[in-house]
Amino acid sequence: MTDDTVRDSPEETIRELREQLRRVSEQATSLEEQVRSLQQERRTTLRILDAALSSGGPLLPVDKALDPAAVLHEASQKVRSFVRLGAVSFHLVSSDGLDMTCTYCDPGDTLPFLERELQFLIDDGTVAWSIDRNKPVIVTSSEGEQPLLLHTMMTPNHRTVGLLFGVLGEDPAGIPDIARAFLTVVCNATASQLQDAELYGLAESLNRTKDLFLANMSHEIRTPLNGILGMAELLDDTLLDAEQRAMVETVRGEAISLLGLLNDLLDISKIEAGRMELEEAAFDFRGFLRELVRSTSSLAKAKGLAFRVLADPFLPERLLGDRLRLAQVLRNLLGNALKFTERGEISLEVSLESPAAVPGGNGHSPRLDFAVRDTGIGISEENRKHLFEAFVQADASTARRYGGTGLGLAISRKLVELMGGEIRVESRVGQGSVFSVSLPLRVPGPSSALPPERKGETAAEREEAEAWAASVPPLFHGEGRLLLVVDDNATNRVVLQGLLRKLGCGSVAAEDGPGALRALSEKAFDAVLLDMRMPGMDGTEVVRRLRDPTSPAHLRRLPVIAVTAQAMKGDRERHLALGIDDYLVKPVSSRDLGESLRRVFAPERLFGGDGTSPRRDTTNGEGLSVQSGDAGVGALQGTDAVENAPDPESFDPEILLARVEGDGALAEQVIRVFLGDTDRFRIALGEAAASGEPAALHALVHAIRGSAANVAAGRVERLSARIEETHFLTKQEFRESAIWQLEEELARAAEAMRRFLDRMSGQGWRREQKEG
Amino acid sequence: MALITVNALAEGMVLANDLHAPNGRMILARGAVVRSAHVRMLKVWGVSEVDVEKGGEEITLPEEFALNEEELRRRSDEIVDSYFPPAAYGDDCMRELRRLCVLRTARKLKEGISLPELPERGDRPPQMPLRDGLPLEPISPYTLVRNEVRLVSYPDIYFKIKEVLESPVSSAAHIGEVVSKDPSLSARLLRLVNSSFYGFPTPIESIPRAIAIIGVNELTTLALAVSTINFFRHVPERYVDMRSFWEHSLACGVFSRILAYAKRKPSEERYFLAGLLHDIGRLVLYRKMPELMTFALRLAVYARIPLFRIEKRLFGFDHAHLGQLLLREWRIPETIGHLVGDHHDPFACEHPEDAAVIHAADVFALALRMGTSGSWFVPMLEKEAWKTLALSPASLESLLVQGERQMQETMNIFFPQREAGV
SS3 labels along A386-401: CCCCCCCCCCHHHHHH
Q: What is the mean pLDDT of residues A626-643?
A: 29
Q: Is the pLDDT of residue B417 over 60?
A: yes
Instruction: Determine the pLDDT at residue A369.
Output: 92
Strand partners, A89: A105, A165
Going by DSSP bridges, is the β-strand pair A306-311/A137-140 parallel, antiparallel, or unpaired? unpaired
Nearest CA in chain A to B212: A138
A51 in contact with B at a CB cutoff of 8 Å?
no
CB spacing of B41 vs A99 below 8 angstroms: yes
Please name the residues in contact with B326: beta carbons below 8 A apart, sequence gap of 6 or more: B145, B148, B151, B280, B281, B284
Q: Which residues of A touch B167 (CB under 8 A)?
A: 41, 177
Report pLDDT for A418.
92
Nearest residue on chain B to A41, judged by CA atoms? B169
Strand partners, A369: A351, A438
So what's the pLDDT on residue A275? 78
The yes-or-no verdict on residue B11 having pLDDT over 50 is yes
Could A100 and B44 be called an inter-chain contact, meaning their C-beta atoms sit closer than 8 Å?
yes
pLDDT surpassing 80 at residue B50: yes
pLDDT at residue B234, rounded to an integer: 67
Instruction: Please indicate whether residue A664 or residue A416 has the higher confidence score (pLDDT).
Output: A416
Query: B-chain residues within 8 Å CB-CB of A139?
Result: 212-213
Look at A273-287, A733-747, A755-769 and tell me which has the smallest mean pLDDT.
Answer: A755-769
Poorest-confidence range of A402-411, B93-102, B152-161, B202-211? B152-161
Q: Does A144 touch chain B (CB under 8 A)?
A: no
- In chain B, which residues have their Cβ closer than 8 Å to the Cβ of A172? 172, 208, 212
Residue type, A535: P
Checking if the pLDDT of A752 tops 90, the result is: no
Beta strands A482-486 and A506-510, pairing class: parallel
The rounded percent of chain A whose pLDDT value lies above 90 is 17
pLDDT at A485: 93
CB A741 within 8 A of CB A716: no
Q: Which residues of A touch B217 (CB under 8 A)?
A: 177, 180
In the predicted model, what is the mean pLDDT of residues A660-666?
73
Measured between CB atoms, does A147 come within 8 Å of chain B?
Answer: yes
Between chains, do A135 and B202 touch, taking CB under 8 Å as contact? no
Q: Is A20 a residue whose pLDDT tops 50? A: yes
The stretch A399-403 carries a mean pLDDT of 63
Beta carbons within 10 angstroms of residue A272's beta carbon: 12
* Minimal-distance CA residue of chain A relative to B200: A129
Distance CA B268, CA B361 (A): 13
Burial (CB count <10 Å: 0-12, 13-18, 19+), residue B144 = buried
* Mean pLDDT, range B120-144, rounded to an integer: 64
Residues 4-33 of B with CB under 8 A from A: 22-23, 25-28
The residues, any chain, with a CB within 8 Å of residue A241's CB and separated by 6 or more, are: none
For residue A403, the model assigns a pLDDT of: 64
pLDDT over threshold 90, residue A334: yes
Look over chain B and give the mean of its residue pLDDT values, rounded to a whole number.
82
Report chain A residues whose CB lies below 8 A from the CB of B209.
140
- Pairing status of strand A527-531 against strand A482-486: parallel
Torsion sign, CA atoms A654, A658, A662, A667 = negative
Predicted confidence at residue A614, as pLDDT, reads 32
Looking at A107-111, A394-398, A416-420, B26-30, which range is the least confident one? A394-398
With beta carbons less than 8 A apart as the criterion, state whether A703 and A717 touch. Answer: no
CB atoms within 10 A of CB A627: 20
* Beta carbons of A173 and B199 less than 8 Å apart: no
Q: What pLDDT sits at residue A216?
A: 78
Are residues A757 and A721 in contact, defined by beta-carbon separation less than 8 angstroms? Answer: no
Nearest-CB residue to A180 (from B45, B46, B216): B216
> Which is nearest to B332 in space by CA: B270, B422, B377, B248?
B270
Question: Nearest C-alpha of chain A: how many angstroms from B340?
Answer: 25
pTM (whole model) above 0.80:
no
What ipTM goes with this model?
Answer: 0.80
SS3 per-residue string spanning A115-150: HHHHHHHHHCCHHHHHHCCCCCEEEECCCCCCEEEE
- The 10s digit of each residue's pLDDT in B69-91 is 788 888 888 889 888 888 888 88
Percent of chain B with pLDDT over 90: 17
Asked if the model's pLDDT at residue A771 lies above 60, the reply is no
* Residues within 8 A of B (CB atoms), A 156-195 only: 158-160, 171-178, 180
Flag whether residue A124 sits within 8 Å of chain B, measured between CB atoms: yes
Cross-chain CB nearest to B213 (options A99, A119, A139) = A139
Q: How confident is the model at residue A374 (pLDDT cuts 50, 70, 90)?
A: very high
Q: Do B172 and A125 touch (CB under 8 A)?
A: no
> pLDDT at residue A636 above 60?
no
What pLDDT score was predicted for residue A538? 83
DSSP alpha helix (H) spans, B25-91: 36-45, 70-83
* Subunit contact A100:B41, Cβ cutoff 8 A: yes
Q: Does A123 score more than 60 pLDDT? A: yes
CA of A78, closest CA in chain B: separation in Å?
19
Q: How many CA atoms lie within 13 A of A355 on its CB side?
A: 6
Q: Tell me what the mean pLDDT of segment A68-97 comes to.
A: 88
Q: How many CA atoms lie within 13 A of B197 on its CB side?
A: 31
Whole-number pLDDT of residue B319: 92
| Average pLDDT, rounded, for chain A | 77
Using the predicted structure, report yes or no on whether residue A1 has a pLDDT greater than 70. Answer: no
Tell me what the mean pLDDT of segment A723-745 comes to: 68
Query: In the structure, what pLDDT confidence band is assigned to residue A390 with cuts at 50, 70 and 90?
Result: confident
pLDDT band at A394; cut points 50, 70, 90:
low
For the segment A394-415, the average pLDDT, to the nearest whole number, is 75
CB contact under 8 A, B43 and A140: no
Q: What is the pLDDT of residue A360?
A: 45
> CA of A182: which chain B residue's CA is closest?
B168
Report percent pLDDT > 70 for chain A. Answer: 77
- Please report, as a single letter, which amino acid is at residue A757: L
pLDDT category of residue B293 using cuts at 50, 70 and 90: confident
Most confidently predicted of A67-71, A733-737, B217-221:
B217-221
* A142 and chain B in contact, CB less than 8 A: no
The residue type at B151: L
**Shortest CA distance to A371 belongs to which of A644, A606, A614?**
A614
Interface contact A553, partner B, CB < 8 A = no
Beta bridge partners, A350, equal A311, A370
Which of B216, B217, B258, B402 is the best mutation test for A, with the most CBs of A within 10 A?
Answer: B216
* Contact in structure between A479 and A649 (CB atoms under 8 Å): no
pLDDT tens-digit readout, B365-383: 999 999 888 888 888 887 8
pLDDT value at position A588? 75
The model's pLDDT over B377-413, given as tens digits with 9 standing for 90+, comes to: 888 887 888 888 888 888 888 899 889 999 988 888 8
- Residue A474 pLDDT > 50, yes or no? no
Q: Which tens digit of pLDDT belongs to each residue from B172-181?
A: 888 888 888 8
Taking CA atoms, A137 is separated from A180, A182, A375, A734, B210, in Å, by: 10, 14, 79, 94, 10
User: Does the beta carbon of A129 lie under 8 angstroms from any beta carbon of chain B?
Assistant: yes
Report whether pLDDT(A736) > 50: yes
What residues in B contact A45, CB-CB < 8 Å?
168-169
State the pLDDT at residue A202: 78
CB–CB contact B44 A122 (8 Å)? yes
pLDDT digits (tens, 9 = 90+) for A194-222: 888 777 777 778 878 877 887 777 777 77
Q: Quick: pLDDT tens for A492-547.
A: 787 788 778 777 788 999 998 999 988 888 888 889 999 887 888 888 888 888 88
pLDDT of A97: 81
Report how many Cβ contacts below 8 Å link chain A to chain B.
107
Closest CA to A560 of A647, A629, A491, A626: A629
Helix segments in A486-643, DSSP class H: 490-502, 513-522, 539-547, 571-578, 590-601
Q: Distance (Å, rounded) from C-alpha A167 to C-alpha A139?
A: 10
